[in-house]
Chains A and B, each alone.
Chain A
Amino acid sequence: MNNVKEYCWLISQQPGKKRLQTLIGPALRLTEEGRWETSIHLLDDFDWHIYRSGQSLIHSVADDAPDQGRCVLIKSDKPVCEQDNLSIQPVFWHDVPSGKLQQSLKKLLGYSGLIRVLQIDEQRTVLACRDEEQKILLRLEVIKQTVSSHLGTDTTPYDRVLLRILPLRGYHKEATQVAESLRRLRHKEAESLNTGELLALCKIDPEAELLPNPLPLDPQEHTESALRAATRLLLKQARRYEAGIIADTDTEYLHQYRVNVRRARSLLSLLKQALPDQEGRELRQRLANMVRPTNALRDMDVFLLQRSFYGGLLPQPFQSGLEMLFRETEQQRQQVQQELAVYLVSEDYQHDCLWLDAQLKKPADFAAPLAPVPLHQVASSKIFKTYKRICKLGSAITETTPDEQVHDLRLDCKKLRYLLDFFAALYPQEQISRHTKALKVLQTILGDFNDYAVQQESLLGQVTAQTPPDQAAAIHGLVALLYQKQLVARSQVMQALETFASDALRADFKAAYSPRKDRK
Chain B
Amino acid sequence: MKVLAIYSMKGGVGKTAASVNLAYWAAASGLKTLLIDLDPQGASSFYFRVKPAKKDWGQRFFKTYENLLKQIRASDYENLDIIPAHLSFRNFDVVLHNLQKRNKRLKKVLQGMRKEYDLIVLDCPPSLGNLSEAVFTAADHLLVPVIPTTLSERTFNQLLAFFAREGYSQEKILAFFSMVQSQKNMHKGIQDTMRQAWPDFLTSSIPFSVDVENMGEYRAPVDQFAHNKPANAAYQSLWQEVHRRL
Name A's B-contacting residues (CB within 8 A): 1-2, 128, 131, 133-136, 168-171
B50 touches A135 (CB 8 A): yes
B81 in contact (CB, < 8 A): yes
By a CB distance below 8 angstroms, the chain B residues around A170 are 71-74, 81
By a CB distance below 8 angstroms, the chain A residues around B115 are 1
CB-CB nearest in chain A for B71: A170
By a CB distance below 8 angstroms, the chain A residues around B60 are none
B83 to chain A, nearest CB (A): 9
Asked if A2 meets B76 with Cβ closer than 8 Å, knowing A134-B49, A134-B219, A135-B50, the reply is no
CB-CB nearest in chain B for A136: B76
A135 touches B69 (CB 8 A): no
Give CA–CA (A196, B221) in the complex, Å.
46
- Taking CB atoms and an 8 Å cut-off, the chain B residues in 60-114 that contact chain A are 69, 71-74, 76, 81
B72 touches A135 (CB 8 A): no
A1 touches B73 (CB 8 A): no
Asked if A135 meets B116 with Cβ closer than 8 Å, knowing A169-B81, A170-B74, the reply is no
By a CB distance below 8 angstroms, the chain B residues around A136 are 76
- Taking CB atoms and an 8 Å cut-off, the chain B residues in 196-228 that contact chain A are 219
By a CB distance below 8 angstroms, the chain A residues around B76 are 128, 135-136
| Interface residues of chain B: helix, strand, loop or mixed (majority) | loop
By a CB distance below 8 angstroms, the chain A residues around B72 are 169-170
By a CB distance below 8 angstroms, the chain B residues around A168 are 73-74
B51 in contact (CB, < 8 A): yes
Residue pairs across A and B with CB atoms within 8 Å: the count is 30
B49 touches A135 (CB 8 A): yes
By a CB distance below 8 angstroms, the chain B residues around A171 are 73-74
A1 touches B69 (CB 8 A): yes
Give CA–CA (A186, B49) in the complex, Å.
32
Identify A1's interface contact among B49, B51, B116, CB under 8 A.
B116
A137 to chain B, nearest CB (A): 9
Q: 7 A-B contacts, Cβ less than 8 Å apart?
A: A1-B115, A1-B116, A134-B49, A168-B74, A170-B72, A170-B73, A171-B74
Range of interface residues on chain B?
A: 10 to 19
Given contacts A135-B48, A170-B81, 18 further A-B contacts (CB under 8 A): A1-B69, A1-B115, A2-B116, A133-B49, A133-B51, A133-B219, A134-B49, A135-B49, A135-B50, A135-B76, A136-B76, A168-B73, A168-B74, A169-B74, A169-B81, A170-B73, A170-B74, A171-B74
| Interface residues of chain A: helix, strand, loop or mixed (majority) | loop
CB-CB nearest in chain A for B113: A1
CB-CB nearest in chain A for B53: A170
Identify A169's interface contact among B48, B51, B73, CB under 8 A.
B73
CB-CB nearest in chain B for A137: B74
Give CA–CA (A136, B115) in the complex, Å.
25
By a CB distance below 8 angstroms, the chain A residues around B71 are 170
Give CA–CA (A128, B69) in the complex, Å.
24
Best-surrounded residue of A1, A133, A135, A136 (most CB of chain B within 10 A): A135
Give CA–CA (A134, B74) in the complex, Å.
14
CB-CB nearest in chain A for B84: A170
B105 to chain A, nearest CB (A): 22
By a CB distance below 8 angstroms, the chain A residues around B49 are 131, 133-135
Give CA–CA (A398, B49) in the complex, Å.
88
Q: Which 6 pairs between the two chains have the least Cβ-Cβ distance?
A: A170-B73, A168-B74, A135-B49, A169-B74, A136-B76, A133-B49
CB-CB nearest in chain A for B48: A135
B235 to chain A, nearest CB (A): 22
A161 to chain B, nearest CB (A): 25
CB-CB nearest in chain A for B220: A134
Give CA–CA (A438, B13) in the complex, Å.
80
Give CA–CA (A490, B76) in the complex, Å.
71
Give CA–CA (A81, B81) in the complex, Å.
29
How does the 8 Å CB contact mask read for B41-60 relative to A, with 1 for contact and 0 for none? 00000001111000000000
A173 to chain B, nearest CB (A): 12
Give CA–CA (A131, B76) in the complex, Å.
12
How does the 8 Å CB contact mask read for B25-54 relative to A, with 1 for contact and 0 for none? 000000000000000000000001111000
Give CA–CA (A302, B74) in the complex, Å.
59
By a CB distance below 8 angstroms, the chain B residues around A128 are 76
By a CB distance below 8 angstroms, the chain A residues around B69 are 1
Best-surrounded residue of B73, B76, B115 (most CB of chain A within 10 A): B76
Give CA–CA (A192, B76) in the complex, Å.
27
A130 to chain B, nearest CB (A): 9
Best-surrounded residue of B48, B49, B71, B116 (most CB of chain A within 10 A): B49
